[in-house]
Amino acid sequence: MMSRTCGSPGPDAGAACSESVPESGAAISSVKKNIHILVGATGSVAALKLPLLVSGLLAIPGMWKRLSDPVLHIDLRRWADMLVVAPLDANTLGKVASGICDNLLTSVIRAWDRTKPLLFCPAMNTAMWEHPVTAQHVEQLKGFGYIEIPCVAKKLACGDEGLGAMAEVYTILEKVKEILLERDLLHQS
């Protein structure tokens, strides 16, 4: 069981969080090659979970441990075997769906090799999630061949309750491992 406790970064961010992530149910014995997963994060409160997600990804055999040289968006898309955007906020969701690439992450996504998996984990306020344009944007990304890891309902940092919270880290990690196994990049023991 991996655990993570995170403090509140400011007065408006809500209470401190505590999360436990169970170890994966699938035992992994070996890898065929080093696996490169590029993680993109946007401005959602759910970014507080990013250290837990990254440490969980690094626990998967064959993961890289460092990036040696600064690279541009094309080098990153060539380097990565998979892109996980977690959290994907409403602003960046709209940009990606519209083809806007005004920062490094959106440029990597715009240049992404669509033969490689791109997973996105929406995270936003319930009112934003329920806006009709959000469903259009999600469908647009799925139309590009990207894989949605759906948001969940819970009490959000703003105090609202409902859909919009990023999927649990455990769910994201399990989907990453499932895809790596499907692509024969990991072996189950």
151 occurs within a structural domain: yes
pLDDT of residue 25: 53
11 occurs within a structural domain: no
Under 8 Å CB-to-CB from 27, ≥6 apart: which residues?
A: 188, 189
136 occurs within a structural domain: yes
Kindly name the residue from 6, 17, 101, 158 that is annotated as catalytic: 158
Under 8 Å CB-to-CB from 47, ≥6 apart: which residues?
A: 41, 87
9 occurs within a structural domain: no
pLDDT of residue 140: 98
The reply to whether omega before 122 is within 30° of 0 (cis) is no
- Work out how many domains the chain is built from and give that number: 1
124 occurs within a structural domain: yes
Number of Cβ within 10 Å of residue 122's Cβ equals 30
pLDDT of residue 185: 84
Instruction: Give the residues of the chain that fall short of pLDDT 50.
Output: 1-22, 24, 69
Question: What does the alpha-carbon distance between residue 164 and residue 92 come to, in Å, rounded to a whole number?
Answer: 15
5 occurs within a structural domain: no
Helix (H, G, I), strand (E, B) or coil at 40: strand
Whole domain around residue 143: which residue ranges?
25-188
**What's 35's domain CATH number?**
3.40.50.1950
Token output for 20: 């436990």
94 occurs within a structural domain: yes
What pLDDT digit, counting tens, does each position of 36-76 carry?
787 888 888 888 888 888 888 878 877 665 555 455 688 88
Which of 55, 57, 49, 124 shows the shortest CA–CA distance to 84? 57
Q: Any catalytic annotation for residue 121?
A: no
Cβ atoms of residues 93 and 109 within 8 Å: no
Token output for 49: 């979970």
Cβ atoms of residues 124 and 89 within 8 Å: yes
In terms of pTM, does the model score above 0.85? no
14 occurs within a structural domain: no
